[in-house]
């Protein structure tokens, strides 16, 4: 199969239309058989539930070309599970896990020419999503839904790739206590847009959100969880029920313990402690592991000893091991790699 003529090494994190996408429709209480389509557009009523009341949830995962030329995805079962949790929280029907994995497989297979080659630094990002499409004007859940998956080849989420980024502490929250911070709902991202643009206008790459109840504990950024490394080499990651349970973070906790023999603490992390850490990184499907060099809290700077030029040594080891597993250079734990045949 010939690959598309794309400058793989210079891709950013942006949408490129690919050949095929998957769509399945929920109507009269059941999902239809689902199909691939070339039509990248959606036509809906002005009164569709998703437009009026933001009834939409989504996922993000990637397909990789391995060193030996296979195409694989990473733990798609966990995306299926998390989408089900997100859907249930917004009173949407669940798309069955086996069908989710089959749909991922079909989309990647149909767009194999868009899967970036091994070693290019790019990957194929898959965006499964689901939304209420019928007309709803009184506040209530839709009765008709679409589940879709499109894909787009992407490069690094943050410009500069592995260069450390700078965050500021946000005064605004992305989630409420007992709200929807722990699911992947579009509304959480809408909540983050204003403070994200303010951060950009002030010269920062992203926001660090603190817990919405007390503003004393570290939560996450708009699109990734935090990892810290203590001066004695322990990995620390915030635990909170208002952050997204990142699949990358859960995988890295396992990698840190089982592959690298590191001690890991998943616990509440007070902002007060952050200045004492040796390294900081953001982890997620899009972010992979992006090193953080500096965090600014209303003019007060926290500069990590790892600096602004490169990843700290422990974050680098985690990055190398995780990407090694994803690209087939390092043997994966059973069930982590789903090969597209």
CB of 133 or CB of 155, closer to ligand PLP: 155
285 interacts with ligand PLP by CB under 6 A: yes
Name the active-site residue from 20, 62, 184, 294: 184
Candidates 82-90, 208-216, 281-289, 333-341; binding stretch for ligand COI (CB under 6 A): 281-289
Question: Is residue 318 within 8 Å of 190, Cβ to Cβ?
Answer: no
Cα dihedral 315, 318, 322, 328 sign: positive
229 interacts with ligand PLP by CB under 6 A: no
Question: Is residue 274 within 8 Å of 216, Cβ to Cβ?
Answer: no
Which of ligand COI, ligand PLP, none has residue 220 at its interface (CB below 5 to 8 Å by kind)? ligand PLP
Which of ligand COI, ligand PLP, none has residue 246 at its interface (CB below 5 to 8 Å by kind)? ligand PLP
Q: What's the length of the chain? A: 341
Binding string, 46-85, against ligand PLP, x = CB under 6 A? Answer: --------------x-------------------------
Residues of this chain, 236-275, that bind ligand COI according to CB under 6 A: none
Backbone φ/ψ region at 240: left (φ over 0), alpha (ψ -120 to 50), beta: beta
Residue 141: φ, ψ to 5°: -70, 155
Residue 296 CA from chain centroid, whole number: 24
Nearest residue to ligand COI, scored by beta-carbon proximity: 60
Least Å from the CB of residue 60 to ligand COI? 2
**184 is an active site residue:** yes
Q: Name residue 227's beta-bridge partners.
A: 281
Strand bridging mode 279-284 / 225-229: antiparallel
Q: Which of 284, 291, 293, 312 binds ligand COI (CB under 6 A)?
A: 284
Q: Looking only at Cα atoms, what is the longest distance across the chain?
A: 58
220 interacts with ligand PLP by CB under 6 A: yes
Residue 242 CA from chain centroid, whole number: 16
Strand bridging mode 61-65 / 71-74: antiparallel
Residues of this chain, 32-61, that bind ligand COI according to CB under 6 A: 60
Tell me the two tokens of residue 295.
């965090």
Residue labelled with tokens 């817990």: 211
Residue 178: φ, ψ to 5°: 60, 20
Which of ligand PLP, ligand COI, none has residue 225 at its interface (CB below 5 to 8 Å by kind)? ligand PLP
Q: Which of 116, 155, 223, 312 binds ligand COI (CB under 6 A)?
A: 223
Least Å from the CB of residue 281 to ligand PLP? 12
> Interface residues with ligand PLP (CB under 6 A)?
60, 220, 223-225, 244, 246-249, 284-285
> Interface residues with ligand COI (CB under 6 A)?
60, 223, 284-286
Residues classed as catalytic? 184
């Amino acid at each position: 199969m010939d690959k598309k003529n794309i400058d793989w090494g210079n891709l950013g994190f942006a949408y490129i239309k690919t050949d095929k996408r998957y769509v399945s429709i929920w109507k009269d209480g059941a999902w239809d058989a689902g199909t691939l389509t070339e039509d990248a557009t959606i036509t809906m009523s002005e009164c569709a539930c998703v437009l009026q009341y933001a009834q939409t949830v989504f996922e993000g995962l990637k397909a990789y070309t391995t060193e030996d030329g296979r195409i694989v995805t990473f733990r798609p079962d966990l995306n299926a599970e998390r989408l089900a949790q997100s859907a249930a929280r917004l009173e949407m029907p669940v798309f069955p896990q086996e069908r989710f994995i089959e749909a991922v497989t079909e989309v990647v297979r149909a767009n194999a020419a868009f899967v970036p080659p091994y070693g290019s630094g790019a990957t194929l990002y898959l965006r499964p999503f689901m939304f209420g499409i019928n007309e709803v004007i009184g506040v209530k859940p839709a009765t008709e839904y679409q589940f879709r998956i499109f894909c787009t080849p992407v490069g690094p989420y943050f410009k500069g790739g592995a260069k450390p980024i700078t965050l500021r502490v946000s005064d605004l929250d992305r989630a409420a206590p007992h709200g929807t911070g722990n699911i992947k709902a579009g509304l959480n991202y809408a909540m983050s847009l204003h403070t994200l643009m303010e951060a950009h206008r002030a010269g920062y790459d992203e926001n660090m959100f603190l817990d919405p109840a007390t503003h004393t504990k570290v939560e996450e950024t708009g699109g990734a969880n935090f990892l810290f490394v203590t001066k004695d080499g322990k990995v620390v990651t915030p635990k909170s029920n208002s952050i997204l349970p990142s699949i990358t973070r859960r995988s890295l906790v396992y990698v840190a313990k089982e592959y690298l023999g590191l001690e890991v603490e998943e616990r509440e992390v007070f902002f007060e402690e952050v200045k004492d850490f040796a390294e900081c990184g953001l982890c997620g499907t899009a972010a992979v592991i992006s090193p953080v060099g500096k965090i600014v809290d209303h003019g007060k700077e926290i500069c990590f000893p790892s600096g602004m030029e490169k990843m700290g040594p422990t974050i680098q080891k985690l990055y190398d091991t995780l990407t090694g597993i994803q690209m087939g250079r390092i043997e994966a734990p059973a069930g982590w790699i789903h090969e597209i045949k």
